[in-house]
Structure 1
Amino acid sequence: MARLPLRNIENPQVYSVIPKEIIAEQVVVDYNSIFKNIPGAAVPVVYNQGRSAMLSRGFTTANFIRNSISGFVYTNIDPANLEVLQAIKGPSGTLFNSGQISFGGLFNRVTKKPLEQNKTEIAFTGGGYNLNRLTFDINRPLTNDKQVLFRLNGAVHTEKSFQDQGFTRNVMLAPSFIYKLNDRLDFLLDIEASLYNATSPIRFAPSATATTINNIRDFGMDYNRSFLTNSLDYHTQQVNFFGQVNYTLSGNWKLQTNITRTFSTTKGYVTQLIGVNDSMLRQRAQKENFPYNGVELQQNLVGDFKIGTLRNRIVVGIDYYNQRSDRNTPTVTLAAINFRKPGAAYNNFNADKIDSAAARVIPETYATNISNYSAYVSSVLNITPKFNVMLSLRLDNVDNKGRYDVATAVFTDAFNQTALSPKLGMVYEIVKDKLSLFGNYMNGFDYNAGSDSVGNPFKPQQANQWEIGLKTDLFHHRLTSTISYYDIAVTNVLRLAPGGVFNIQDGTQISRGFEAEIIANPIDGLNLITGYTYNDSKLTNAAADVNGLRPATAGPMHLANFWISYRIVSGKAKGLGAGFGVIMEAILIKPIPINLSLKYPPTLFLMPPHSMILLNAGLD
């Protein structure tokens, strides 16, 4: 997470880690469900192709980081290949590509790597809505000296929707290899490939003006009806190649080279429902052909040495990232229907109707090409054995070729911008290795395309965070916790000038709040994960109709998560266990009252949401 040998209690940044053991214990069958264990991140934003983003400190945060560098996919993610999921909080522009993260942080998917022992594990999960899921994990040393290791993870998943139409089917394979040439040099190759066939998540956008209803509960729409047919499906493919070379120069210095190539594409139909008034909607479909290609090269030099009597840990790195995409998308909108009593028109939203109409529509056809060039340094200096200071700096340049319109051969919104991102962190261990006080200043940035009314290019948005908190690691790691308060101020935000013709760059936003997480294992077999977040986000210089208001993308103001489980650790019933979890969210409408709802209903582990049956077989 810091790209350095740094324990959590020494790290001035806040992060949460969800290991594969929790993922397995909760019988997680979809990627989004893992986030219910991360304070403040449990509310998913699900997009057309099933891809998702989560919340972090009041900002929507995509899932684009894998093994600490780009894992860019615009499709679903299967959790079967996850070793851990890391949630790294706050603007992190010093060590990560700004185009892959948000001002609230990032989520890093760390994949399973080969082991030195034989392992075979096969699991089947079945449940409601015709859920059938098969996963497997096979590990083999390929040579007697264990210099060559191989591991294969995979999943086959089928499931219907709770609505009258809708389905998901996917296959994922993830082979990985390690070759240890000698004690100083090793190579890792990690591949993840998947095929998805599914219907789009249903999105309904009510009319912003032609309605008298203020609460979706009063809208009268039947949630069990999808307003589409299963012929409106899409196919996605994704392949992630990750390679790593580790070379030890000496006992204190190491070189690490990372390379990743990503490909993801969607081909088929993505759908949306558009509100007309209190009883009418229009069905809309895009017929997509939308591939993304990405490559990232990263070189790190990591050192752990002394300056006089002071320990210094340092990473120096350079990074190149390129992403290209092509889009060919006709959009079709059907005639309005009454969603309360749709009648025979309900079945009109099908592939034949869309194909016929799309043939007469000029598609949106364009290409993009974006490159990032970066250099960074981060150093942790121990002033005393209990007190360390982290200083980091990143120089980042983006070269965005703009949007190339295939029909007109014209580029629009091209720009080239450069940004510096500093970071300062301090940690004082009040009780060595057990209790620490930390504070940080962190910066993040995001690029703005376009120019102002006189042609001056816009500057990057900047987010500056101040944070202070406490970390604990007690009773031989049986109780760990992090408590912190943060304040994030965003500047250079674009907003429409009065009159609504040009953008101006004087918008500002604040996001401040409190986070607490406790992870406890008081006795063998008993595990507890609990967290609470409070986030106050508002636009502080914006258009008159939204100024001073909380952005819709900030999510709930209050969010709490709780999970407790017990598993028998000895005797004939070893391995048998049960768990219980709940997530609660609250949105502050005005100063009062608070609207409280359960985002995930309380659920016994023995009867998860799909009424699952779990069969597991393992051979070691």
Structure 2
Amino acid sequence: MNKYTILLFFIFSLFVSLLKAQDFALFRGTVRNEQSGEPLPNANITTYKPTTTSVTDVYGQFILKTLPEGTYEIQISAIGFKTIKQKINILKNDRSTYDFLLTPTQEALQTVEIFGRKEKSYTNNQSFIGSKTETKLRDLPQSVSYATKELIADQGLMRVGDIVKNFSGVNQFTFYDDITIRGFRINGGSNTQLVNGLRTTTGFWKQPLANYLERVEVLKGPSSALFGNSSPGGVVNRVTKKPLDETRKSLQFAVGSFNNMRALADFTGPMTSDKTLLYRLNIGYENAQSFRDLQFDKNIVIAPSFSFIPSANTRLNFDMVYNDSRSRLDRGQSVFANGDLYSTPISQSMSTANDFLNEQTYMITASLNHHFTNDLSFNASYIKTGYAEDLSEHRSANAYAVDGNGENIDNMVARQVFIRNRKRFMDNLAAFFNYQTRTGTILHKLVLGYDYAQEVLPVGGSQLTASGYRNKDNTGTIARFNPAKIADYMLDSQGNPIPNVSSFDLSNPLKSQQLQDASKYFFASTLVAPTYYHLNAFYLQDQLTFGPLQLLLGLRYETYKDIVNYKTEKADNVYQDVLLPRIGAVYTISPQINIYGTYVQGYNPQTASALSNPNAGGPFDPLENDMTEFGLKTAWLNGKLQLSTAVYQINQKNTLYAAPTADNADLLEQIGKERSKGIEFDIQGQILPYWSIIGSYAHNDAKITHGANNEELNRQKPNAPKNTANLWTRFSIPKGAVKGLGIGFGTNFVDKRNLSLNQDQTIPSYTLFNAALYYTIGKVQIQGNFNNITNKTHWVGGYDYIRLFPGTPRNFLFTLGYTF
């Protein structure tokens, strides 16, 4: 036995002797919800003089074993409940179990999200997205990924497209508001994204900003049974920050690579002494250049929110988000026609100095929650979205320039010009009743609701397009070059056709990127056709609980109306309807472990133009999809660390393919089928009070199983990597000389992908490494984020080798924050 072993044995023996010398008493108990009688996990128990703390487990139970006999003042608190304080005598031989009942505060009774979330961690235990009412995520029979505002802040993020890299099975498709979930694409123009659980729309080109968001959630799989037509991969829900009943104020200023500068403010608190009126105001300003030539973003965001609580049973909330954006539209990187991905720098873009994209977006939300009794409530939410686009751009014509023989010129990309104005407006109303009752030992949570949504693209949208090649008289253009008719074209000194818009020279880009004189172009004017659709839906859902088993049964009936040739004499209504079931089950194996299974169906209406074209061969059924998913959700360390896994298969059918014949060029066939299956793992939360983590891995096999072109069958779907993995962790030093110092580290892996328009072209896999340093002293926090530390050249998506979307090279962001 060496001297170190003897020393350790001596220290251990001394420690045991000291423990035995103490007359420790036992203090244990259970904390419950006063109204429902259910145990409260994660409640905090604090004793004073001496100060000790404990946290209840999933059964609401706690135990303190190291208190000397005596009288103590104790405090019991839980988020959403009134804190209680009382004195208690603790005796050495007393084996009593104490029961404590906490009264819910108003914020604990939410069935629509009106009050803000007070936690300050990577963990969010509750969500409204999966069941139309506040539900524990571990009790939801479907996979949900999320990122809290704390994670967003720690990673220094400002775009939703960057946030989703933390989610299993989710990755970017392009630069834009455009992502892939489990192999299926969704984007801001698809009308299926959600804000506060309500349907909204954006302009597609710019990713939503994140400074006004409480969290970002993704409900995986078809969600039509809850929200109407949506992607079979899932829906993204952006939850805005809501007012708190306590005063919090913060300011942030940040500077970073590529002349990036931002200033953010977040103020919240009560506006009246009785806290019946609460407010929150988020303001953001961003002025950032880019690693991409000529690209920039200027954004002003104003996001006020007000909550009014006239009584214990009634709550109202008003939300608004206004974003004024000035930028250029980046259509991606082009490489030489020889297909060498590295033949041009990732900084090279097709834009010119007089291009611009100006956008204004507003979202106004009003919500009402009224409790008639403790078991019956009514909820209504309405959102109005407005979007305006003013665009002028030089972009690729999706082809290389050609010589007099019709052959590609290796270093020249054909260009075109778009000048466009359009607007879009969307309304969504959701109203539902929640009713809780029992039949014997079975607890029912019933939801009966109605949804209405409409979208209008009004009259006035139009576009000027300059493209093609100049005719021999220079009086107009010809759309495509035909070498057999070369005499019809204007030719240069080398015998090549002269384009309407000069081609982009990849080997000498500066001349192509300078100011261009649009007056020299021949423009064709086209109408951005006005459109209109609306939907009506009724749904019924029951969450049944008996013992350790919970069942979720839902049914939604939806009618969808689309007007083809809207605002013309040929206007015609096109109707579709669908009945969508949802079945799920959750079984609690132990306080830490739940297993679940679910089957859900979804749909996407076919477009009115396809359905109403008399030559298309319709009518056609909507796109139909379904998902079967099984999973495991666990909570550890008193619920502070969540681990989950899911296996799934998603099927979609009724995709339309062109099937022209000699007699009918417009004929369509509804033969397309797609299948996505895979497995996902997620971990999120706290390992220690000062050590947070989020990580995921996903394997996704997403293929077209039936289509018009046999070459595309059994090939991985576009921009859908087979494997992705993500990890981010932060550790803060809680005490000592360097108290307040923190460090963060993360990595992202994305597998190689097929491109969408040319699946013979691929982009390679990549692994990125990121890091961060934090230092907090009093009310001041200094933060530095360092991303893509190894300066890895990579691409986040693409259509083909003319439109590639490169990822950001090595970059940094320094942030100074102040809370008061």
User: Normalising to structure 2: TM-score of the pair?
Assistant: 0.69
The answer as to 2:438 corresponding to 1:306 is: yes
Instruction: Give distance in 2, aligned partners of 1:39 and 1:285.
Output: 38
The answer as to 2:578 corresponding to 1:419 is: yes
Query: Where do 1:245-260 residues align within 5 Å?
Result: 245-260=368-383
Instruction: Give distance in 1, aligned partners of 2:141 and 2:382.
Output: 28
1:448 counterpart residue number:
606
The Cα shift of 1:596 comes to 6.1
More displaced, 475-484 or 490-499? 490-499
Q: In the alignment, residue 456 of structure 1 is paired with which amino acid?
A: G
1:371 counterpart residue number:
534
Q: Secondary structure at the match of 1:46?
A: coil
1:295 counterpart residue number:
427
Maintained 8 Å contact 1:337/1:345:
no
Report the CA distance shift for 1:281/1:115 in structure 2 as closer, same or farther (over 3 A): same
Instruction: Give distance in 1, aligned partners of 2:457 and 2:733.
Output: 51
1:340 counterpart residue number:
506
Aligned residues: 595
Q: In the alignment, residue 385 of structure 1 is paired with which amino acid?
A: G
Instruction: Give distance in 2, aligned partners of 1:343 and 1:170.
Output: 28
Structure 2 unaligned spans of 5+: 1-128, 401-407, 468-499, 755-761, 774-783, 788-810
Query: Where do 1:209-608 residues align within 5 Å?
Result: 213=339, 216-217=341-342, 220-273=343-396, 274-276=398-400, 277=408, 278-326=410-458, 327-333=461-467, 334-337=500-503, 339-342=505-508, 345-347=511-513, 350=516, 352-353=517-518, 357=521, 360-382=523-545, 384-404=546-566, 410-411=570-571, 415-432=574-591, 434-449=592-607, 450-451=610-611, 453=615, 455-497=617-659, 499=661, 501-550=666-715, 552-570=717-735, 573-587=738-752, 597-598=765-766, 600-604=768-772, 606-608=784-786
Report the CA distance shift for 1:494/1:389 in structure 2 as closer, same or farther (over 3 A): same
The answer as to 2:145 corresponding to 1:16 is: yes
Instruction: Give distance in 2, aligned partners of 1:595 and 1:112.
Output: 37
Report the CA distance shift for 1:356/1:600 in structure 2 as closer, same or farther (over 3 A): farther
Instruction: Give distance in 1, aligned partners of 2:237 and 2:737.
Output: 38
Report the CA distance shift for 1:216/1:519 in structure 2 as closer, same or farther (over 3 A): same
2:178 counterpart residue number:
53
Maintained 8 Å contact 1:11/1:427:
yes
Report the CA distance shift for 1:344/1:223 in structure 2 as closer, same or farther (over 3 A): closer
Maintained 8 Å contact 1:563/1:580:
yes
Instruction: Give distance in 2, aligned partners of 1:58 and 1:70.
Output: 22
2:815 counterpart residue number:
614
Report the CA distance shift for 1:545/1:221 in structure 2 as closer, same or farther (over 3 A): farther
Question: Larger relative contact order (C-alpha < 8 A, sep ≥ 6)?
Answer: 1
The Cα shift of 1:420 comes to 1.2
Maintained 8 Å contact 2:718/2:753:
no
The Cα shift of 1:196 comes to 0.2
Maintained 8 Å contact 2:466/2:501:
no
Maintained 8 Å contact 1:133/1:155:
yes
Structure 1 unaligned spans of 5+: none
Identity of aligned residues (%): 24
Instruction: Give distance in 2, aligned partners of 1:287 and 1:410.
Output: 27
1:62 counterpart residue number:
187
Return the structure number with greater strand share. Answer: 1
The Cα shift of 1:604 comes to 4.3
2:228 counterpart residue number:
97
The Cα shift of 1:342 comes to 3.5
Report the CA distance shift for 1:87/1:574 in structure 2 as closer, same or farther (over 3 A): farther
Instruction: Give distance in 2, aligned partners of 1:241 and 1:356.
Output: 43
- Show CA shifts across 1:33-89 (max 9, x none): 211211121324234xxxx12221111123520000123222542111000111110
Report the CA distance shift for 1:294/1:338 in structure 2 as closer, same or farther (over 3 A): closer
Q: In the alignment, residue 447 of structure 1 is paired with which amino acid?
A: P
The Cα shift of 1:530 comes to 1.0
Q: Secondary structure at the match of 1:241?
A: strand
- Show CA shifts across 1:557-590 (max 9, x none): 111111111123346754431111111011378x
- Show CA shifts across 1:471-524 (max 9, x none): 111220132111111011111111122656411112211111111111242212
Maintained 8 Å contact 2:629/2:648:
yes
Maintained 8 Å contact 2:166/2:694:
yes
Instruction: Give distance in 2, aligned partners of 1:608 and 1:181.
Output: 47
Maintained 8 Å contact 2:335/2:341:
no
Q: In the alignment, residue 227 of structure 2 is paired with which amino acid?
A: F
Instruction: Give distance in 1, aligned partners of 2:255 and 2:270.
Output: 32
Q: In the alignment, residue 482 of structure 1 is paired with which amino acid?
A: S
The Cα shift of 1:457 comes to 1.3
Q: Secondary structure at the match of 2:164?
A: helix
Q: In the alignment, residue 687 of structure 2 is paired with which amino acid?
A: P
The Cα shift of 1:271 comes to 4.4
User: Normalising to structure 1: TM-score of the pair?
Assistant: 0.91
Report the CA distance shift for 1:72/1:440 in structure 2 as closer, same or farther (over 3 A): same
Report the CA distance shift for 1:126/1:109 in structure 2 as closer, same or farther (over 3 A): same
- Show CA shifts across 1:281-316 (max 9, x none): 122232121111011111111122212220111211
The Cα shift of 1:228 comes to 2.2
